[in-house]
Structure 1
Amino acid sequence: MSGERRRGVLVTGAATGLGLALAREFSQVGDRVFMTDIDEQVASAAEQLSGEAGDPVGWLIADLAQDGAAVALKETASDVLGGIDVLINNAVVRKMADVPSLPDSDWDRALEVNLSAPFRLIKACLPEMKARGWGRIVNMASVYSLIALAGRADYVTTKHAIIGLTRTVALELAETAITCNAICPGLMATDSALNRIAALAAEKNIDRKEAERMFLSTRQPGGQFIPIETVTALALFLCGPASRGINGAAIPVDNGWSFA
């Protein structure tokens, strides 16, 4: 890819947590970034990153479960960025319920946001990537792409499926300079995890540190969160020139959880 053109990077689910950290990682190395989320906080997050990087960061509030939303997002982001070179599918929804209790509407929404939207965004971005002769696609999977857990049917199913999509796309792109990979993180200190720890502390009437230890002890080997910066650094590497031979990989970042 020509060094004269700055890369355009689209990050979904970017208002908070890992998505915001990913957007920050790419903006800090000089890429042009476009962020999207259903959360209106994405606007202030983009403004903050613009100030940090000294460069405008695009944003759009979008519900990727809505018909046509993924393709409309691609068109908007491509217009702002002058083309999408790097696509990071990070948006996710989940409902903690066992199969008999999981509403059909929540199941359908998870399929749309976690699986169909990445498929549609990949499909929409590939023609431009092929025309330029270069591209990177990173699907944010999960440790639950590699193992299962009761009470997470929508999340586990869609995260397993995203690996299948990743590998299929990778094989179709094997003769090009475009790659498609997945990252499978364990538990990170996201707002979701921290809120669950706070709820556990209140439920058990224990302090937050003890609740964190209890929460992690049944999940994450080593009893510590996976650093978000480890995941963002890996994403940045997968989108760089040295990663060309890595295609169709599902890379665990879980301190051994998925094979414990």
Structure 2
Amino acid sequence: MVLNGKTAVVTGSNSGIGLGVAREIARAGANVVLNSFTDREEDHALAAEIAKEFGVEARYIQADMSDGEQCRALIEKAGDCDVLVNNAGIQHVAPIDEFPMDKWNAIIAINLNSVFHTTAAALPKMRTAGWGRVINIASAHGLTASPFKSAYVAAKHGVVGMTKTVALETAEEPITCNAICPGYVLTPLVEAQIPDTMEKYNMGREEVIKKVMLERQPSREFATVEQLGGTTVFLASDAAAQITGTTISVDGGWTAL
């Protein structure tokens, strides 16, 4: 229970990577604040389930991460914020000359601008507490690029750059800032894409995963949300107190190519 007594805010955490990270942080003993843009009974039920399973405090706070004021309000409503995990993100794929302006603006707002706003709001709380961790869920696309993903690649490269800046600004304080760069992760969203891809390529499940979906991931295996959660817990722990301003790739060797 390496995070006993700490409170973690995880943006975009009512499903997928964010929920997996929140669960592992709770498993490590921290209280957690879940977030997304919806405000449904099932969102609050997720928090209740985590609280019951891990014996921690857990809350759900609705906030639209495309809105800077709501990003900052989330941190204020959370109260304590010892660990900030910036995970919220969206994606759209199109050639740059056909990329819709509204999609570009939304991706930059949610994937990049929100990181600025939540971090700016959280750092004073961490300084008051005398301890803090900012952990940004970037992407392999924060270190490399793919065609047709201009906004996502630009945003994630920006997250990596901001991570370094925050680390330098807090280098003489007991606060660290790092980025995790996942490759392809087996989330419910990805799982739902497999049947259609099987039909499109007339392949079996394992063949589609290894030859199509994981073509750029040398391990030919998805990362899991539990692995990303474990990496997050490590970066939040005292063992990582001298790790700051860096990226940790969880990508099966993708960025080694």
TM over 0.5: yes
Partners of 2:3 and 2:36 in 1: CA distance: 30
Q: In structure 1, which of residues 124, 133, 136 is the aligned counterpart of residue 133 of structure 2?
A: 136
Change (3 A) 1:232 1:67: closer
Q: Residue 9 of structure 2 corresponds to which residue in structure 1?
A: 10
Q: In structure 1, which of residues 167, 173, 178 is the aligned counterpart of residue 170 of structure 2?
A: 173
Residue 57 of structure 2 corresponds to residue 56 of structure 1: yes
Q: In structure 2, which of residues 181, 191, 203 is the aligned counterpart of residue 194 of structure 1?
A: 191
In the alignment, is the contact (CA less than 8 A) between 1:114 and 1:159 conserved in 2? yes
Change (3 A) 1:16 1:100: same
In the alignment, is the contact (CA less than 8 A) between 2:89 and 2:107 conserved in 1? yes
Aligned residue type for 1:6: G
Pairwise CA distance, 1:29: 1.9
Q: In structure 2, which of residues 188, 201, 205 is the aligned counterpart of residue 208 of structure 1?
A: 205
Residue 36 of structure 2 corresponds to residue 32 of structure 1: no
Aligned CA-pair RMSD: 1.8
Aligned residue type for 1:60: I
Residue 253 of structure 2 corresponds to residue 253 of structure 1: no
Q: Residue 42 of structure 1 corresponds to which residue in structure 2?
A: 43
In the alignment, is the contact (CA less than 8 A) between 1:216 and 1:224 conserved in 2? no
Specify the SS of the correspondent of 1:120. helix
Deviation string 1:71-100 (CA, Å, 9 cap, x unpaired) is 11111111xxxx110000000011111112
Aligned residue type for 1:35: L
TM-score w.r.t. structure 2 length?
0.93
In the alignment, is the contact (CA less than 8 A) between 1:36 and 1:61 conserved in 2? yes
Q: Residue 151 of structure 1 corresponds to which residue in structure 2?
A: 148
Pairwise CA distance, 1:217: 4.3
Partners of 2:140 and 2:23 in 1: CA distance: 23
Specify the SS of the correspondent of 1:94. coil
Pairwise CA distance, 1:5: 7.5
Deviation string 1:128-168 (CA, Å, 9 cap, x unpaired) is 11122110000001111111000111111100010100000
Specify the SS of the correspondent of 1:68. helix
In the alignment, is the contact (CA less than 8 A) between 2:67 and 2:114 conserved in 1? no
Aligned residue type for 1:133: G
In the alignment, is the contact (CA less than 8 A) between 1:188 and 1:226 conserved in 2? yes
Partners of 1:4 and 1:152 in 2: CA distance: 36
- Of 191-200 and 128-137, more deviation after overlay is shown by 191-200
Partners of 1:20 and 1:5 in 2: CA distance: 19
Pairwise CA distance, 1:221: 0.6
Partners of 1:215 and 1:50 in 2: CA distance: 39
Partners of 1:147 and 1:259 in 2: CA distance: 10
Partners of 2:179 and 2:12 in 1: CA distance: 16
Pairwise CA distance, 1:8: 0.9
Unmatched runs of 5 consecutive residues or more in structure 1:
none
Specify the SS of the correspondent of 1:210. helix
- Of 85-94 and 32-41, more deviation after overlay is shown by 32-41
Pairwise CA distance, 1:55: 3.3
Unmatched runs of 5 consecutive residues or more in structure 2:
none
Change (3 A) 1:151 1:130: same
Pairwise CA distance, 1:67: 4.4
Aligned residue type for 2:50: L
Aligned residue type for 2:209: E
